[in-house]
Structure 1
Amino acid sequence: MSDPTWSFSQSFSAQFQASRTELESRVEASKSTQPTTDALQALSVELAKLTKTLSDATGSIPSYDQRQYELQLKGLQTSLEQLRASLPKTKFAFKRKIAPPTSSAAVPVVPELPSSERVSTAMSANLTLSSYSMRYLTAAAISNPSQATDLAISDLDKCIVNLLPDASPTLKISALHIRNLTDSVLLLPVIEGSVLLHDVRRCIVVVGCHQFRMHTSTNVDVYLSIPSNPIIEHCSEIRFASYPPALSASKDATFSDEFSVQDFSHIKSTPSPNWTKLPPEDRIKAWPTDASLSETEVLAVVNGLVSH
């Protein structure tokens, strides 16, 4: 049975992103027209409702996700302010005093982080595996003296990452945050928490988790063990397959690819063009689990595996 917290988190994420995407579309549509004051007010009310929904979920969703959602709402808030500023000013108007709104009616304000801190703040409390090229990486490459169990993997090019129990027996991971990877292979264990990926290109990802979300990525093969439905957004050429039994040491792993991917960039009844199942003939049979590979060998293996 899955953890109720993760079940709620996954359900919340799907509902929140669907509502946020719909509101974002309405805001973008308003930019090409001359919106009325009433129309902007309606959008502001919807944003306030969405902000309150996120505030009410605090503590029940991963802190990294919370920060990302807050930044998304802040972006919507900025767009609405720009639209409001573009309205023609009324030259003459009589004003009357309006009683200030009560605290219960106040629109929550989403805090804004400086752009230079948006990624570093999210990753500062995590274990980190970052900034390597043409390397075979295990737990020995992970840095950060903290006792955190969230792992941030970022800025890798032409690498093989092996964090499977055989290669990294003492490593304990509760959540994974993956960003800015190119031409790399990730061999990751089955974890209890979530996996969030951004800006992954021409990679192979093997992982098991309770939640899987991928953003702004392309040409990625994902071998996945998951009890829920994976989510993608602003992605293309993504192929899914089941977690390879040969790599699993977890009794919680599942080896079925009968999950249904939710594409938040294609909220239509027709099949999404952005993902498909990985054909059996294209699935990898021999995995690179030898940690003694040299840089030249790593490059050769990666080029052979990611060139689909």
Structure 2
Amino acid sequence: MEEADEPNHETLDPALQKKHHDMLERLSARHQARKSDSSSSSSSSSTLESTSSFLTKFADSKRSIESRIAESRLVSSSSTDSSKLKSELAEISFSIDNLEKLLAENSYFLPSYEVRSSLKSVSDLKQSLDNLSGELVPKKKFSFKTKSSSKKPESIQKPDLVSPPKIPVRDSPGFRNKQGETLTKNFKDSSSIGEFTLSDLDSCQVRLKGTVNALFIHRLKNCYVYTGPVIGSILIDDVEDCVLVLASHQIRIHCAKKTDFYLRVRSRPIIEDSNGVRFAPYCLKYDGIEEDLKIADLEEETKNWANVDDFLWLRAVQSPNWSVLPEEERVSSVSISDDGDS
């Protein structure tokens, strides 16, 4: 049984490593400035200034994106230049991605309610862009064809302009590069951790208790992951033959194969480039989990675990890439209390 290891800087991309090195220097300078303040009230003021600065920047960006979406909708009614419209939507999508990145990078010091509110704003912007993109997809006119197509596409893919980016490896506390181990972490003992990463794990069992702002899961194979509630988002990339028991406000899954997800989630789970994934309700138990669910505002079962959106599937019938896990195959309850699993 191991506690979280320090980030392995040697495995990081040099550009990403430099970026995080600069960030750590800025954080260190900020920390020294706070220490020089003579009273605790000065420290509180500094934190409030950071939160206020984020909220101002977030609100300005949000208003700008909303304005561009509204303008694009007006222009689309009179413009016939579809390539120009698609280019504009691609730029809006990029702005939304940057806004979501801004939130992820600053979630460690934000109050929980601000994280939840900001996540909802990002989700609403994505939905508005999605709706607008759907309105701009040109309808094919009826025409006789002399040749029939030899191949029919199995599905219609969404344009790249709204495709979410591949999830980067995060330089945050976490478990990395482990095989065949049981890995445990209690976030109640580490209140300063805002983000946590699970990366490059093979045949491991991971047990996380307490709440954390964001969770990043990257390159897992044959693993069992049991986590307490995540206040913000869970981003998953490249998992295979795993079982994941997760609770969060937003869950995005990229490149998952033959994996079962037991979820409690406030918004609809999103999958992309995935197949053979199955979904069931959250079933985790440990001492204090009800209190943690309440802190994360996840005590209510929304049943969104069964309302999965396949990002690359637009046909009217349900995507074949995911299914509801049959009740007879589900695990009814998993306990990660000190007295063992069940």
Q: TM-score, normalised by structure 2?
A: 0.49
Q: CA deviation at 1:131?
A: 1.0
- Counterpart CA distance in 1 for 2:89 and 2:301 is 41
Contact 1:225 1:253 in 2 (8 A): no
Q: Secondary structure at the match of 1:271?
A: coil
Q: Which residue is 1:230 aligned to? A: 269
* Pair 224,254 (structure 1): closer, same or farther in 2 beyond 3 Å: farther
Are residue 274 (structure 1) and residue 321 (structure 2) matched? yes
Q: CA deviation at 1:203?
A: 0.4
* Pair 153,54 (structure 1): closer, same or farther in 2 beyond 3 Å: closer
- Counterpart CA distance in 2 for 1:205 and 1:193 is 17
| Greater Cα offset, 259-268 or 215-224 | 259-268
Contact 1:164 1:189 in 2 (8 A): yes
Are residue 240 (structure 1) and residue 286 (structure 2) matched? no
Q: Secondary structure at the match of 2:90?
A: helix
Q: Which residue is 1:62 aligned to? A: 104
Contact 1:132 1:156 in 2 (8 A): yes
Contact 1:198 1:214 in 2 (8 A): yes
Q: Which blocks of at least 5 consecutive residues in structure 2 are unaligned?
A: 1-54, 70-80, 108-166
- Counterpart CA distance in 1 for 2:284 and 2:199 is 27
Q: Which residue is 1:154 aligned to? A: 199
- Counterpart CA distance in 2 for 1:292 and 1:135 is 19
Matches within 5 A, 1:1-308: 44-52=87-95, 54=97, 57=99, 61-63=103-105, 119-120=168-169, 123-124=170-171, 126-139=172-185, 147-165=192-210, 172-244=211-283, 246-247=285-286, 248-249=289-290, 250-251=293-294, 252-255=298-301, 257-258=303-304, 259-285=306-332, 287=334, 289=336
What per-residue deviation string (whole Å, max 9, x for no partner) do you get for residues 13-40 of structure 1?
xx9xxx9xxxxxxxxxxxxxxxxxx886
Count of equivalent residues? 199
Contact 1:245 1:255 in 2 (8 A): no
- Counterpart CA distance in 2 for 1:154 and 1:59 is 19
- Counterpart CA distance in 2 for 1:119 and 1:210 is 20
- Counterpart CA distance in 1 for 2:222 and 2:197 is 18
- Counterpart CA distance in 1 for 2:182 and 2:338 is 6
Q: Secondary structure at the match of 1:284?
A: coil
* Pair 156,40 (structure 1): closer, same or farther in 2 beyond 3 Å: same
Q: Which of the pair is proportionally richer in helix?
A: 2
- Counterpart CA distance in 2 for 1:290 and 1:257 is 25
Give the RMSD, CA atoms, in angstroms.
3.9
- Counterpart CA distance in 2 for 1:272 and 1:49 is 27
Q: CA deviation at 1:146?
A: 11
Q: Which blocks of at least 5 consecutive residues in structure 1 are unaligned?
A: 20-37, 66-117, 166-171, 294-300, 302-308
Q: Secondary structure at the match of 1:62?
A: helix
Percent sequence identity over aligned pairs = 26
Q: Secondary structure at the match of 2:228?
A: strand
Q: Secondary structure at the match of 1:236?
A: coil
What per-residue deviation string (whole Å, max 9, x for no partner) do you get for residues 161-180 of structure 1?
01134xxxxxx411000000
Q: Secondary structure at the match of 2:334?
A: coil
Q: TM-score, normalised by structure 1?
A: 0.54
Contact 2:266 2:302 in 1 (8 A): no
* Pair 278,53 (structure 1): closer, same or farther in 2 beyond 3 Å: closer
